[in-house]
Amino acid sequence: MDKMKKVLDKGYVRLVNHLGSDLTVVNAARVSYQKESFELDQNDEKLISFLAKHDHTSPFRHAMLQFEVYAPLMVARQWWKYIVGSSHMEGIGDTMNGWNESSRRYVTEEPVFYVPNENEWRSMPDNKKQGSGEPVATELGKEYTKDLLELIEKGQGLYEKAMEDGICSEQARLFLPAYGLYVRWYWTASLQSVAHFIKQRMDGHAQKEIRDYAKVVYDLSLEDFPVAMKALIENVN
């Protein structure tokens, strides 16, 4: 079951567990007629497509996925919106969403930071509101990679000194540059919620870093829900 894919420079997504399959969606929908399928066939696939196309999404909430994610804090906080705002679609809420995150109040492992390479820095977009434009010149990128590494080194040094001087970890962490700091969490959600996240965060308007994570979540989900996941991505708004 343990399937993991790397993302960015030091991150990853690991599929920890899942409940159900494409048949789970089919049988949840057909229970109304006291019918059950034991092997997926073309009629079942057509039913899944029909359900997604016409927003009959409750059967997709009987299938679950659990991921372990290791990502920069700026990605985690965008991702968190899908826990706070998980009452999408039919408006009854998805109470099966779960999120548990590591905390530096208790965990004192060495901090790890996301550092873009010299060719990964992006320009400000023309509208200057959100998102990013084309990559900046390599020389400029090299300068900002160097500056970021220096900032991390200084912050990490102050963090370690504070800990050595007896400052509590929940305050010592104030010295760590926050947005690039890698954090780890478990995310458990229904197939519908996962598809909702993927569809929004694989969109070209989303930040590149979270798009990279959404693509990996999509690839991992397809292994266990190839028909249902594609149907949700292609049909549900």
Q: What are the residue numbers of the active site? A: 201
Nearest CA-CA partner of 15 in 207, 192, 194, 180? 194
Nearest CA-CA partner of 107 in 172, 49, 189, 62? 172
Six-digit token string for 71: 């990502």
From the number of C-beta atoms within 10 Å of its C-beta (0-12, 13-18, 19+), residue 198 rates as buried
Q: Are 15 and 66 in contact (CB under 8 A)?
A: yes
Helix or strand run (H / E) with residue 214: helix 208-222
Q: Say if strands 98-101 and 182-190 run parallel, antiparallel, or are unpaired.
A: antiparallel
